[in-house]
Structure 1
């Protein structure tokens, strides 16, 4: 009984106090760190592609550099999830940011010595991708360890908003640094942002995932066994499996087509200009930011899963609206609501999933969620041009993809009772 009581007291002590989010020191330090890391990542990708295209005069090779970053991130994400479940997540994020800082510092010196060739850039891209494969599982699973369940929705909203701002502002920083500076100045700026991101992580007080000595088995110590355990943990629970499958379906049929839809709509439907493209991109980004802010203010704490599916249905309807649009203004409105409801759906779905995952498996589950989000987008983007080249119009493609997703969402809501109750 004394042992049981001591365990209960230990669990109680590990729970974060229900203070306001921005007065929670660990959460505040984490958010500041993510600001720098998010800006650094999007700025790096922009400068990397510009360096290949303009400085090396090899625009046709940009895809290989992007693949070199994406492939290790995709292949090692499950390993990153296991590592996130074994060690302090803030420490994993710290090492990822710090070693990426070292990489960018090395790139700066290689550029100054005129040795930053395409081959070396590919090697750096691979290493960058490897480090990111450990960063994102830790980053996507750390929030439940430093905020209480009642604040998960608001905390994820802050996180999602920052990442959206990073995607938007990063290319602007890249453009300004290249306009007013040079590549060495740009690489140096990114390295400073990563260093600052790592420094602020030192102020995050999350708890390492520790097992009792007598509970650790040989199988548990195997990396492969823990990955398998994570898959079984999801497979045997209809709720978790449904959420992850829904994420994969929505990424493939909605998010992937959306990234191709805007430039295709401008060129083929509108026969428009670069300014039309800018208006549409701004509309989608503004909608995403509005959605992330509003859902954080609402902070849904009950039936999160059901609400995420409802928001996902409205996401589908907005995409259908874009499919039916033939002029600029209707397309801008459709994309505004697409951004809003995608933020609503993403934030509530992540929160619903995090709220029911055992803490010692949080990294593995969230790594699979992130892997679907990042891995299926390029696959979907690869299929879409093939379908369009077969004579299928963009309008029909968007409507079909949205309809398939709608049918799937409604089926899950009807068949999986726990989705409606949790």
Structure 2
């Protein structure tokens, strides 16, 4: 587990620098929020398109091998983009292509990561393991954006993409130390369609699972795109430009970091109830941004959103790993990611093109309303309120 954590911590630090670099590379090229929406949409479209295949592969072949391959692929893509930025102007279409390469890697990385954690930990240690993964993600969210903003302001976005490329390759070296036997999953005997049907049966049979994935789909359609597309433009208009946006994202990371520390120590008997309540932290984050609050207040709102997201992700992943059989876990994780992210590319594009006509404030207020109403609907379900962190299903003999 130590090598997995070291590799993940390294790569996530580089990855969390790139949103600032990507946003201001697009804006500096004169493409505006519509161009940023297209680039961010392009980064998520391959994830949605290929993540189900990624789940099937992660339940059939070595999850360790998939993690290694995706790190190498994404590192090569970011290195190429960095060289292009250093040597000349990068057109919008090229930025979209490189963003899609990174998204394609995520389609195979996420199911493999979700499936390998139970193989490396005892059942009682699952929440702590997920909290440590979340801690790394949160540490990257805290340090990465602020560092990325400083590097973009002092040098150029190319420096950030070069650092990200190195972080992926260092991560691959750490992953070589992950035990092969621990990372080896069940090998399926049926075809891809049969594997997908089996994963769907496990996914659709749990109301708590598909109902919260539906909530997440609305979140990624109307909430996260509004925050990530409109935030950089509002920062450029009066919140300190790239440095200000970097510090806002850093505040988000600080909140998620605190949540990770708490979740590593405090076990939740009803994890989903706590997760949904915690995610209401996005409401003040969106409202403060919409109301043109001073930068410290916007950072504080981002802190609340990060704490909520950090809590939600840790408890959600623990709930999956504790209630889904391991031999189908990567496929269920893939259906989770697919259902959650299928709306995200559209959301980025819609927000990018609608904001000039509708205005940033109405779209941010709509996002806050979506978070509040869908959270209330989720908590009305007994399955969500009462689910416990029960025993992990053991793998069936092959």
* 1:122 positional shift: 4.9
Distance 2:86 2:287 in 1: 50
The alignment status of 1:231 with 2:200, answered yes or no, reads yes
Distance 1:121 1:260 in 2: 16
Q: 1:348 aligns with which of 302, 315, 324?
A: 315
Distance 1:186 1:320 in 2: 27
1:263-296 CA deviation, whole Å, 9 max, x = no partner? 79889xxx96438867755544332222222122
Q: 1:285 aligns with which of 239, 242, 253?
A: 253
* C-alpha contact (below 8 Å) 1:78/1:367 kept by paired residues: yes
Q: 1:279 to 1:180 in 2, by over 3 A?
A: closer
1:73-108 CA deviation, whole Å, 9 max, x = no partner? 221111111111111212111111123333445556
Q: So what's the TM-score if we normalise by structure 2?
A: 0.77
Q: 1:134 aligns with which of 95, 108, 129?
A: 108
Distance 1:168 1:289 in 2: 7
Distance 2:263 2:91 in 1: 45
Partner of 1:363: 330
Q: 1:40 aligns with which of 2, 11, 14?
A: 14
SS of residue in 1 equivalent to 2:323: coil
| Structure 1 segment 119-198 matched on structure 2, within 5 A | 122-174=96-148, 187-198=161-172
SS of residue in 2 equivalent to 1:298: coil
SS of residue in 1 equivalent to 2:183: coil
For structure 2, list consecutive stretches of 5 or more residues without a partner in the other structure: 391-398
Partner of 2:274: 307
Q: 1:395 to 1:197 in 2, by over 3 A?
A: closer
Distance 1:186 1:406 in 2: 36
Distance 1:121 1:287 in 2: 30
Q: 1:116 to 1:410 in 2, by over 3 A?
A: closer
* 1:239 positional shift: 3.5
After superposition, the CA RMSD in angstroms is 4.1
* C-alpha contact (below 8 Å) 1:322/1:398 kept by paired residues: no
* 1:113 positional shift: 7.5
* 1:305 positional shift: 2.9
Distance 2:158 2:351 in 1: 37
The alignment status of 1:241 with 2:210, answered yes or no, reads yes
* C-alpha contact (below 8 Å) 1:151/1:299 kept by paired residues: no
Distance 1:128 1:417 in 2: 36
* 1:152 positional shift: 1.5
Partner of 1:68: 42
* 1:116 positional shift: 7.2
Q: 1:379 to 1:293 in 2, by over 3 A?
A: farther
* C-alpha contact (below 8 Å) 1:77/1:133 kept by paired residues: yes
SS of residue in 2 equivalent to 1:35: helix
Partner of 1:210: 186
* 1:184 positional shift: 6.9
Partner of 1:19: none
Distance 2:367 2:20 in 1: 28
* C-alpha contact (below 8 Å) 2:322/2:389 kept by paired residues: no
Q: 1:265 to 1:65 in 2, by over 3 A?
A: closer
* C-alpha contact (below 8 Å) 2:20/2:246 kept by paired residues: no
Distance 2:257 2:333 in 1: 22
Q: So what's the TM-score if we normalise by structure 1?
A: 0.73
